[in-house]
């Protein structure tokens, strides 16, 4: 059950973060132009004119300042020790991530250096603030299973780094990464309301306000790009916020955070498979991501973004439904069926748009053969 104060403070938090983002973004745009942090078009990119980057700095600044403004007004005891450590880890590690992204927006750092710094930021969260995955809901298990540190620590670091990069990989169209992240944050907000978790409601509201304010300048046609400073920070923030989901052990199973960010994670998975099949380096950029494939099918810039928004909203809805049924008697079986159906649909969708390989469509070819077989048999008779 949510405390009565959460609705007033939550509304104020959203308005404050939104107003800060609306004010900071034009200032960051001017700063990016002044220092030459610009995104220059090339054969791999969709946009055709030079655009200022560093938009993520505005999101980060809005979120951080809003937190500092809101925290003094929270009732005493509203935040647990774990919540305070999580917020500290988010702000400290997030600051390092934003600095990394801002430097990359200006100087184009190497992928290996960025990975090392991301791991360092994850280690700050784990070792500096003792925030890690301690319990996991194993499907069809009788209860939450405790994880030893030798599993929990590496699992947490891998989770943070993977989600951080997943958002970065989908940042290819105006408003895409910000919108998908906003939908994921909105999903967490809904789940926080359902779970009665005031902390996740406050943090999700603050981050959502910062994203929406930035989207006023980032949706097509964009006036500024978020750059790596934005995509990396949003990925990092989503990874940390989802850690609250792992702590809500009686409501959220291990699969829920995966569903919340299903679009960037699935796009990342298909990118890894695509590059492995074609024997390309895993960190090599290409034009085979979901948004590229949709545009190659003839969808406009704006329609492509809206389609992916719809897919992200579908994943978010599945996450909310799944978390709601996870405690019922048939919860594990329903979750298993839903996940199998989603995996099947993802594979069909991937083959239809050619996100892995334009010529390899094993499931569609199998379905076609099965459909033709009865017709051949009937002709033989």
pLDDT per residue rounded down to tens, the chain (381 residues):
677 889 899 999 999 999 999 999 999 999 999 999 998 876 666 656 789 999 999 999 999 999 999 999 998 888 888 889 989 999 999 999 999 999 999 998 998 999 999 999 999 999 999 888 775 544 444 444 555 577 888 988 999 999 999 898 888 889 999 999 999 999 999 988 888 888 889 999 999 999 999 999 999 889 999 999 999 999 999 999 887 654 443 334 456 677 888 888 888 888 888 888 888 887 677 778 888 889 888 899 999 999 999 999 998 888 888 777 765 555 567 777 777 888 888 889 888 888 888 777 888 888 888 877 666 665 655
pLDDT score, position 381:
56
Helix, coil or strand: residue 224 = coil
Q: Does residue 372 belong to any structural domain of this protein?
A: no
pLDDT of amino acid 285: 73
Four-residue CA torsion sign, 287, 41, 211, 125: positive
In angstroms, rounded to a whole number, what is the distance separating the alpha carbons of residues 214 and 31?
16
User: Which among 114, 105, 109, 100 has a CA at the least distance from the CA of 36?
Assistant: 105
- Residue 210 in any domain: the answer is yes
pLDDT of residue 1: 65
Residue 31 is predicted with a pLDDT of 96
Instruction: Quote the domain boundaries for residue 189.
Output: 5-362
Tokens of 308: 């992916």
Q: What is the DSSP letter of 282?
A: T
pLDDT at position 105, please?
Answer: 92
Q: Is residue 92 part of a domain?
A: yes
The tokens describing 331, both together, are 């919860």
Q: Identify the pLDDT of residue 44.
A: 60
Q: Where are the alpha helices (DSSP H) in the chain?
A: 5-35, 55-70, 81-107, 111-123, 129, 149-169, 176-195, 198-218, 227-247, 256-260, 262-277, 290-296, 301-325, 331-353, 362-380
Question: 145 φ, ψ to 5°?
Answer: -105, 125
Q: How far apart are CA 138 and CA 136, in angstroms?
A: 6
Looking at the 3D structure of the chain, how many domains does it have? 1
**Is 243 part of a structural domain of the chain?**
yes
Whether the Cβ atoms of residue 159 and residue 226 lie closer than 8 Å to each other:
no
Annotated binding site: 168, 228
pLDDT at 252: 41
Model pLDDT, residue 59: 98
Is the CB of residue 184 less than 8 Å from the CB of residue 241? no
Q: From the CB of residue 108, how many other CB atoms can be counted at a distance below 10 Å?
A: 8
- 221 φψ region: left (φ > 0), alpha (ψ -120 to 50), beta (else): beta
pLDDT at 341: 84
**How far is the C-alpha of 209 from the C-alpha of 213, rounded, in Å?**
6
Binding site per annotation, positions for Mg(2+): 168, 228
In a domain, 59, yes or no: yes
Q: Is 219 a domain residue?
A: yes
For residue 55, what pLDDT is reported?
A: 96
Inside any domain, residue 121: yes
Closest CA relative to residue 179, chosen from 139, 208, 203, 157: 208
Helix H or strand E encompassing 52: strand 51-52
Q: Could you give the count of Cα atoms lying within 13 Å of 343 in the half-sphere of its Cβ?
A: 9
The answer to the question of residue 152 being in a domain is yes
């Amino acid at each position: 059950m949510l405390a009565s104060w959460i609705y007033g403070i939550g509304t104020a938090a959203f308005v404050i973060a939104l107003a800060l983002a609306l004010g900071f973004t034009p200032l960051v745009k001017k700063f990016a132009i002044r220092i030459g942090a610009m995104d220059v078009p090339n054969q791999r990119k969709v946009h055709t004119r030079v655009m200022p980057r560093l938009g993520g700095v505005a999101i980060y600044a809005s979120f951080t300042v809003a937190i500092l403004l809101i925290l003094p007004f929270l009732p005493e005891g509203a935040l647990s020790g774990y919540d305070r450590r999580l917020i500290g880890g988010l702000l400290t590690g997030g600051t390092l991530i934003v600095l990394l992204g801002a430097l990359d927006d200006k100087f184009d750092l190497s992928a290996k250096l960025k990975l090392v710094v991301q791991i360092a930021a994850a280690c700050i969260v784990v070792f500096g603030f003792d925030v890690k995955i301690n319990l996991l809901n194993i499907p069809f298990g009788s209860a939450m299973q405790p994880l030893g540190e030798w599993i929990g620590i590496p699992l947490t670091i891998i989770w943070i780094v993977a989600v951080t990069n997943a958002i970065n990989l989908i940042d290819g169209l105006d408003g895409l990464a910000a919108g998908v992240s906003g939908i994921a944050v909105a999903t967490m907000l809904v789940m926080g309301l359902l779970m009665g978790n005031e902390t996740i409601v406050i943090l999700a509201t603050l981050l959502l306000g910062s994203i929406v304010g930035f989207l006023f300048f980032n949706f097509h046609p964009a006036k500024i790009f978020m750059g790596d400073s934005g995509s990396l920070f949003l990925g990092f923030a989503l990874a940390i916020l989802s850690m609250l989901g792992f702590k809500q052990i009686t409501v959220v199973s291990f699969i829920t955070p995966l569903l919340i960010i299903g679009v960037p994670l699935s796009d990342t998975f298909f990118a890894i498979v695509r590059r492995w099949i074609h024997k390309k380096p895993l960190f090599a950029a290409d034009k085979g991501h979901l948004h590229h494939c949709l545009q190659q099918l003839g969808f406009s810039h704006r329609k492509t973004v809206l389609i992916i928004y719809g897919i992200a909203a579908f994943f978010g809805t599945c996450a909310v439904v799944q978390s709601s049924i996870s405690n019922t008697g048939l919860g594990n079986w329903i979750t298993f069926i839903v996940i199998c159906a989603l995996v099947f649909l993802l594979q069909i969708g991937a083959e239809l748009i050619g996100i892995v390989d334009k010529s390899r469509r094993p499931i569609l070819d199998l379905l076609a053969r099965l459909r033709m077989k009865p017709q051949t048999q009937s002709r033989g008779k």
